[in-house]
Amino acid sequence: MTDTIWTLIGTGSFSSIWFWVFLGILWAHVMQAPLGVPVDLVRRAQGGDGAAADDLRALTGVRLSEAQRLARMAPWRAGGWAFALALLAGLAVPYGIELAQAALALAVPLAWVRWVETRAAGRMAEVPDMSALIRAHMALRRKVQGIGIAAVFLTSVFGMLRLLAERVF
C-alpha cells in the first residue's frame, strides 16, 4: 500500500488524451461565440441579411446588459479569478504539480479572454450603427482567436517539454 492518492487518481494531465480533447473542445467553443454571439450570425449580418442583423443587434443587447450586470460584481469576480489563479500558480510553479500546471494553462488564457470580452462589451455599448457593431464583433473574434491559438500552442509546447523532461531525467 505505498500508493498515494495522487498515483491512484493519475494526475498526469499532459500525457492524457482527455486533457488534449478537453483543450480542443474548450477553445473551439470559446472561439465559436466570443461574448456569446455566434460567429456565423455576425457573418450573415455582414453579408446583408436583415434578419441576422436584427438578431445580432438583439443578442448583442442581451449580452451587453449581462456584461453591465456582471460589471457591478467586478471586484468580486476579479478577486475570485485572482485567488484561483494565484492558488494554481502557487501549486504549479514552486511545487511542479502537473494537474495545477494544466489547470493554469487553461485558466490564464481563459481569464484573458474574459477580460478582453468585458472591455469589448464596454466599447460595443457606445457603437453608433450596425457596420460599426459588426466591425467590433469581428475585431473581438480576431483577438479571441489569437489568444486561443497562442494558448493551444504554448500549452502543447509546455506539455511536450514536460513529458520529455520526465522521460529524460
Instruction: Note the pTM of the prediction, 2 decimals.
Output: 0.85
Q: Which of 66, 55, 156 is nearest to 114 (CA)?
A: 66
List Cβ neighbours of 122 (8 Å cut-off, separation of 6 or more): 67, 71
What confidence tens digit (pLDDT) does each residue in 114-138 have?
A: 889 988 988 888 888 889 999 999 9
Average pLDDT of 2-19? 70
Mean pLDDT of 155-159: 95
Model confidence pLDDT, tens digit, residues 29-46: 999 999 889 999 999 999
- pLDDT given at position 10: 55
Separation of alpha carbons 38 and 112, rounded Å: 19
The distance of Cα 16 from the centroid of its chain, to the nearest Å, equals 21
**Residue range 75-95: mean pLDDT, rounded:** 91
